Chain A
C-alpha cells in the first residue's frame, strides 16, 4: 500500500517509542482541551489548572500520594492477572469487598488494641478480596466462564452488597439517616506518618511491590506464570498447571485490591460509606497497561493518574467542569497509547527495502 510496508521490529524501538508515546499523551490532552472549549471553558488555562492542581503545591503532591496508594495496590492486582493474559477487571468490586471485610472486623471487635485489630482487619480484607477473585477463577477453570464478564458483574454485586450493609445492618443509629457505619475505634485506624496525611499503609505498597518483583524474578511459580502468559500454547504442551495459575492470579489480585479497600476505610475515612468506591479499580487497569505491567512503572503511573484525579477535582471546583472529565482523559490516553504501541512493535519501511 502506497509503496510502504509494515515490518515487525527485531528489537523494540526506543527513542521513536518515547517520541510516539509522548505524542499520544499530548494528543489526548489536546482533545481534552478541545472538550473544555466546547463547554465554554478556557481550554489552555483549564489544562494548566489541572497540572497546577495536581503538582503545583506541597499539599497537592501529598494528596496525589494519598490517592496513588489504592490505585497502586489495585493496579498491581490486575497486573498479576494480565501477565497471564487473564483479564481481571474486578478490582473495583474486590476493593469494595476488602473494605467490607476490614470493617466487619473493626465493628465486631472495637475494644481490641491496634496490634491485634489492624492485622485482623488486613487478614479479613485479604480474605474477602481474595474470595471475590476466587469466584471468577473457579468458574473459569471449572466451567470456562469468561472472567471478564464474571469479574465485572461481581463489581456491581460487590458494590451493591456494600450499599446493602451501610444502608441496613451496619448503619450507624445516630447518623441522621446517612448511609454510613459507626466511626471506627482508635484501635482500628491506620495512623498517619508524622504530620502528613499519608498513612503507614504506604509501607504495604512498598512491600507488595517488592514481593511482586521478587515473585516474577526469582520464584519458579512466577517464572511459570510469565512463560504461560507469553506463550499459552507452548506452556500447555509443557504441562504447566494452567488451572492453578489462573486461580492464583485472580485470588492474589483480589487480595491486593482488598488491601487497598482496607487502607482506604481504615486510614482515610475511618468508617465505611458508599463514597469509598470512586473508580480506583478502573483507573488501575489504565495504570497497569500504561506501565506495561512493570511494578516500578506502575508506581510512577499510579502517581501520575492520581495527579490527574486531584487536578480534575480542582477544575471541578474552579471551573465547574464535571468530574467525568478525568475519566475522558483516562480513556483517551489508554486508547492513544494502545495505538502508539504499534510503533513499538513494528516499523513502516519503503516497499523496495529488503
Chain B
C-alpha cells in the first residue's frame, strides 16, 4: 500500500465519520438530559430529506443544512411530547420514531430518488491544506467537516463551564435536586431533546448535501443506530465521540475501497463490517472505568408529583 492511498483513505474516514459525529453529539446532549431517544435513525433520515428538499428548491446549501436540523428537531419534538408530556415509554417511543422517520422520508422522497441538490463542495483551508499529511487528511474537506472539528470542543466547554450545561447534566443525574433548587427540570429536558435532535438532523443533512449530493432511499443505512452505540462507547463525552465516529468512518471508507478495488470478497460480507464493529465497540465499552456510567435517570419516566 502506498502513502497516497493511505492518505486518501484517512481523508475518506474523516468524511464518512462526520455525519456519525454530528448524530452522536446530538444524542449525547439528549441523553445527558436524561432522555433516551432511539429515534436517531429516523431523525437522521428526516434531516437528510429536509436538507435535500430545501437545497433543491432554494438552491442554498446553507439553508438546506439548517432545514435538516429543524426537520429532525420536529420529529424529536414528537418524542418529547410523548415522553415528557404524556409520560410514555422512551424506548418504545424512540423505536416508533425510527419507524415513522424512515417510512415518512421514503414516502415523501419517492418522487426525488436520484435527483440532485446543490450541496457543499470541498474548500481546502488556505495554508493548512498545504501541510504534509495533515493537509490532505484534515484540511481539504467541506465547511461542515471543519465545523464538526469545533463542535465537540464547544460541547465539552458547554457541559463543563456553563450554568445551562451543568443544569442539563443535573436534569439527567438528579432531577429531584434540580427541582429542589427551584429550576424547571422539564425545560432542560426539552432543551436536550430539541437541540440534540437538531444536531442529529445536521448529521443527516451532511449525508444528502455533502456525502452524496443526491437523494436515495435508506441513505443513513444504520448510521443512526451506530451513533446510539457510540454514545455508550464515548461514555457520554463529546471528545470520545469524535474518536469513535472517525473509527467508524474509517471502517466504512475501507469497506468501500475494498469493494471498489474488486476484492475477492462478496459485498454482503464486507457490508457487515460496520455493524459487527458496533457490537465489538459495545463489548469494549463494558470495560469502563469509574465515573463512566450512563446518566442516572436515563430512560426513566419521572412521575408527576402527587
Contact = CB atoms under 8 A, between A and B. Distances in A.
Interface of A: 5-8, 35, 38-39, 87, 89, 139, 143-146, 148-150, 152-154, 156-157, 160-161, 163-164, 167-168, 282, 285-286, 289, 321-322, 324-328, 330-332, 334-335, 338-342, 345-346
A145 B283 contact: yes
Nearest to B90: A338
Interface string B222-243: 1001001100100000000000
Contacts of B48: none
Nearest to B105: A324
* Residue among A321, A338, A346 with the highest chain B CB neighbour number at 10 A: A338
14 contacts: A150-B279, A152-B225, A156-B222, A160-B272, A161-B268, A164-B269, A167-B266, A328-B100, A330-B99, A330-B100, A331-B100, A332-B100, A335-B100, A338-B88
Given A148-B38, A160-B268, A289-B92, A153 B303 contact: no
B286 A342 contact: no
A331 B268 contact: no
Sort A-B residue pairs by CB-CB distance and give the 8 closest, nearest first.
A331-B100, A327-B103, A324-B106, A338-B88, A334-B96, A339-B86, A331-B99, A342-B86
A139 B279 contact: yes
Interface in B268-287: 268-269, 271-272, 275-276, 278-279, 282-283, 285-286
Given A143-B283, A153-B225, A322-B110, A342 B87 contact: yes
B99 A334 contact: yes
Task: Please report whether the interface of chain A is mostly helix, strand, loop or mixed according to DSSP.
Answer: helix
B93 interface: yes
A332 B283 CA distance: 34
A163 B286 CA distance: 31
A157 B100 CA distance: 23
A118 B189 CA distance: 53
Contacts of A285: 92, 95
Contact of B276 (A146, A157, A322): A157
Contacts of A150: 279, 282
A264 to B, nearest CB: 20
A149 B96 contact: no
| Most chain B CB inside 10 Å of its own CB: which residue of A6, A161, A331 | A331
B107 A324 contact: yes
B102 interface: yes
Instruction: Bin the interface of chain B by size.
Output: 35 or more
Nearest to B221: A156
Given A149-B225, A167-B266, A339 B82 contact: yes
Contact of B107 (A6, A35, A153, A334): A35
Given A168-B266, A285-B95, A338-B96, A346 B87 contact: yes
Nearest to A6: B304
A335 B97 contact: yes
A341 B88 contact: yes
B219 interface: no
Contacts of A154: 279
A154 B225 CA distance: 12
B251 to A, nearest CB: 13
A182 to B, nearest CB: 19
A8 B103 contact: no
Contacts of A338: 82, 86, 88-89, 92-93, 96
Contacts of B93: 335, 338
A263 B11 CA distance: 47
Nearest to A329: B103
